[in-house]
Amino acid sequence: MTEIDAKIDALVPAWLTLPDIAEQLGVEVTRVRQLVKEGQLIAVRRGENRALHVPAAFIDGDEQKVVKGLTGTLTLLRDDGFSDEEMLEWLFTPDPSLPGTPAQALSENRGTEVKRRAQALAV
């Protein structure tokens, strides 16, 4: 994982640490680390202690799980050659055609639209 840059930090409204996510999902921190390692979540180092953080928008607190459609979208973007930073930038940059950001659309269960846009990037 890389150091986060100011641009992405400005785009992502809220972050969670891995222990925070483990608590929300009701799992051990090692399971959250595994989700990051498997590419189901993106974690970046930030803050004074350089702890790993994940965008809060990736976790559905009500359902206690990773937001539906996120993993598939990350896979599509990764297959398109996106870096973690580029994926975060794309997910949190407003898209007037959605409307909102792809991350918002995923949290609102509009994953099909988001995946369609991610696939279009591969052209």
**pLDDT tens-place values along the chain, 123 residues long:** 455 578 888 999 999 999 999 999 999 999 999 999 999 999 999 888 889 999 999 999 788 899 999 999 999 999 999 999 999 999 999 999 899 999 999 999 999 999 999 998 876
Pick the CATH number of 6-120 from 3.40.50.970, 3.30.70.100, 1.10.1660.10, 1.20.140.10: 1.10.1660.10
Digit-coded pLDDT (tens) for 89-107: 999 999 998 999 999 999 9
pLDDT value for 30: 97
Q: Where are the domains of the chain?
A: 6-120
* pTM score, whole prediction: 0.90
CA distance 57 to 50: 20
